[in-house]
C-alpha cells in the first residue's frame, strides 16, 4: 500500500509531498512528522527507500506507507494529555510521533506480538531521546511497549482516549476493539479493506467513517499448543509522575518558553530552505552590419550569454559549501541545552534536566 505521493530525497521532502497531496493537513501533525526522521527506523542499507510513499518489511520489522501514517495521525485528532494505545506498535515510529503531541501528561502504550520488534522499537526510542535535537523542542510522552497478542488483552484493562490498530481487523473482533475505547474516544483501524475512524458517542453507541481504501495483513490469532490458552496480555500500568520528574518537566517548559519569547519560532521544527545556484551571465559585444541606403555600415551590438568558466563555477561551489555550513551550524544550536548548561546548578542536576543526553 502506498505510492500516493512522489518520492523525496529526505524526510523534509517526504513531508512536503504529503502536505501537497493533503495527507497532512494540520500543523501539529506536520511538526511531528518533521521531528521524527522516518529513515532512522530503517535498517542500515535500506534507508534509500525510506522517503518513498511505500510500505517496508524486513523479517518481522514493518513500516506502513507514509500516506497511511499521516491519515492515521490526522484521524486520531490527538491533543495534549490524552491516553493512546497502539495495537501492533511495530518499530515505534508512530508511537514516538504521537508522544510529541500528547505530551508528558498523556499515556502512550503499545502492544507488539514479536519480542525482537519490541527490542528494536526500544532501541530506536532510546536513540531518539539521546541523539535527536527534536527531543528538546517538544514535551514528550515516552512510549511503553509490551510484548503480547493484542487479541489477548486482559478484560479488566483500563480504557483509552485514542486507539490505533496496525493490522487488518475482522468483523468478529470489531466489538473487542471498541470495548477498549473510552466514551468520546476515537479508534482508527482497518476493517474490510477500509481504514475506518470510529468514535464512541455513548456506552453502547458509535459513529463510523471510512477514511481510505487500504490493504493490511490480518491480525494474528494466536493458538496455544495442545489446547493451552494463550497468555493474557497485561497492559502497562498508568503511573503518576514523581515530584522530581514533574520538576524537570516544568523547568524545561519554563526555559523553552523563555527562549521562544526571545526568538519566536526558533523552538519549532522547520523545513530547511534549500540554496539555489545563481545563473551567471556576461555581456558580449559583437560586430554586425546594417544597410543605410546603398551603404553597408558596421554597428556594435551587446548581447547576454550564460557563462560557466571554471573559475566562476568553482566560486559558486565554494559559496554553496559555505551556505551548507551555515545551515548545519544553525541546526546544531540547541537553545534549551545552552540555557540548562548556564544554570548555576551541580553538573549531576544539569545532566538530569538534559535526560543525560550527551549533545
Domain limits, the chain: 64-239, 240-257+340-358
DSSP conformation class of 231: P
Mean pLDDT, range 197-220, rounded to an integer: 94
- Least confident segment among 13-27, 176-190, 236-250, 301-315: 301-315
64 is catalytic: yes
| Of 309 and 355, the one with more pLDDT | 355
The H or E element that residue 66 is part of is helix 66-76
Distance, CA of 235 to CA of 13 (rounded, Å): 37
* CA–CA distance, 82 with 105 (Å, rounded to integer): 8
Give the contacts of 25 (CB within 8 A, at least 6 positions apart): 19, 74
First and final CA of the chain: distance in angstroms? 37
User: CB 257: neighbour CB atoms within 10 A?
Assistant: 11
pLDDT band at 299 (very low <50, low <70, confident <90, very high): low
pLDDT score for 225: 56
Catalytic residue among 6, 64, 286, 303: 64
**CA–CA distance, 123 with 134 (Å, rounded to integer):** 17
Residue with cell 546544531: 332
* Cβ atoms of 31 and 78 closer than 8 Å: no
Torsion sign (Cα): 287, 288, 293, 295: positive
Distances (CA, A) of 89 to 108, 148, 166, 287: 11, 11, 7, 74
Ramachandran region of residue 5, left (φ > 0), alpha (ψ -120 to 50) or beta?
A: beta
The mean predicted confidence, pLDDT, of the chain is 85
pTM, two decimals, is 0.81
Which class is 64-239 in CATH? alpha beta
Is residue 30 within 8 A of residue 11, CB to CB? The reply is no
336-352 residue pLDDT tens: 999 999 999 999 999 99
> Percent of the chain scored above 90 by pLDDT?
68
| φ and ψ at residue 305, rounded to 5 degrees | -130, 140
Give the CA diameter of the chain: 112
Q: What is the DSSP letter of 40?
A: G
Whether residue 19 is predicted with pLDDT greater than 60 in this model: the reply is yes
**pLDDT tens digits along 211-262:** 999 989 888 876 655 556 778 999 999 999 999 999 999 999 999 999 888 7
- If DSSP codes are grouped into helix, strand and coil, which group holds residue 3? coil
Residues β-bridged to residue 302: 285
DSSP 114-177: -HHHHHHHHHHHHHHHHH-GGGGGS-----EEEES-GGGB-TTPPPEEEEEE-SBBPGGGHHHH
Q: Which of 74-83, 202-211, 254-263 has the lowest mean pLDDT?
A: 254-263
Amino acid at each position: 500500500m502506498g505510492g500516493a505521493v512522489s518520492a523525496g530525497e529526505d524526510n523534509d521532502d517526504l513531508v512536503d509531498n504529503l502536505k501537497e497531496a493533503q495527507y497532512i493537513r494540520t500543523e501539529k501533525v506536520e511538526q511531528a512528522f518533521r521531528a521524527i526522521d522516518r529513515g532512522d527506523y530503517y535498517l542500515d542499507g535500506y534507508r534509500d527507500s525510506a522517503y518513498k510513499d511505500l510500505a517496508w518489511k524486513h523479517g518481522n520489522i514493518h513500516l506502513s506507507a507514509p500516506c497511511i501514517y499521516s491519515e492515521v495521525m490526522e484521524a486520531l485528532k490527538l491533543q495534549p494529555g490524552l491516553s493512546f494505545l497502539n495495537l501492533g506498535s511495530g518499530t515505534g515510529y508512530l508511537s514516538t510521533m504521537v508522544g510529541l503531541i500528547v505530551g508528558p501528561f498523556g499515556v502512550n502504550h503499545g502492544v507488539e506480538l514479536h519480542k525482537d520488534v519490541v527490542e528494536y522499537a526500544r532501541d530506536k526510542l532510546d536513540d531518539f531521546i539521546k541523539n535527536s535535537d527534536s527531543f528538546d523542542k517538544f514535551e514528550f510522552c515516552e512510549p511503553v511497549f509490551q510484548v503480547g497478542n493484542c487479541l489477548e488483552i486482559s478484560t479488566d484493562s483500563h480504557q483509552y482516549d485514542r486507539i490505533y490498530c496496525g493490522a487488518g481487523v475482522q468483523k468478529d473482533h470489531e466489538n473487542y476493539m471498541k470495548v477498549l475505547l473510552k466514551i468520546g474516544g476515537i479508534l482508527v483501524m482497518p476493517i474490510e479493506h477500509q481504514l475506518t475512524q470510529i468514535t464512541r458517542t455513548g456506552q453502547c453507541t458509535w459513529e463510523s467513517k471510512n477514511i481510505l481504501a487500504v490493504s493490511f495483513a490480518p491480525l494474528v490469532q494466536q493458538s496455544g499448543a495442545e489446547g493451552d490458552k494463550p497468555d493474557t496480555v497485561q497492559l502497562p500500568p498508568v503511573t503518576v509522575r514523581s515530584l522530581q520528574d514533574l520538576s524537570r518537566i516544568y523547568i524545561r517548559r519554563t526555559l523553552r518558553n523563555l527562549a521562544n519569547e526571545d526568538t519566536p519560532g526558533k523552538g519549532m521544527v522547520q523545513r530547511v530552505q534549500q540554496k539555489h545556484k545563481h545563473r551567471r551571465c556576461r555581456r558580449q559585444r559583437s560586430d554586425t552590419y546594417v544597410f543605410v541606403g546603398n551603404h553597408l555600415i558596421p554597428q556594435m551590438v551587446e548581447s547576454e550569454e550564460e557563462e560557466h568558466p571554471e573559475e566562476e563555477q568553482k566560486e559558486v561551489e565554494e559559496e554553496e559549501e559555505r551556505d551548507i555550513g551555515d545551515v548545519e551550524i544553525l541546526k546544531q544550536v540547541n537553545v534549551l541545552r545552552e540555557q540548562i548548561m548556564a544554570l548555576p546548578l551541580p553538573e549531576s542536576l544539569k545532566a538530569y534536566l538534559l535526560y543525560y543526553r550527551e549533545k
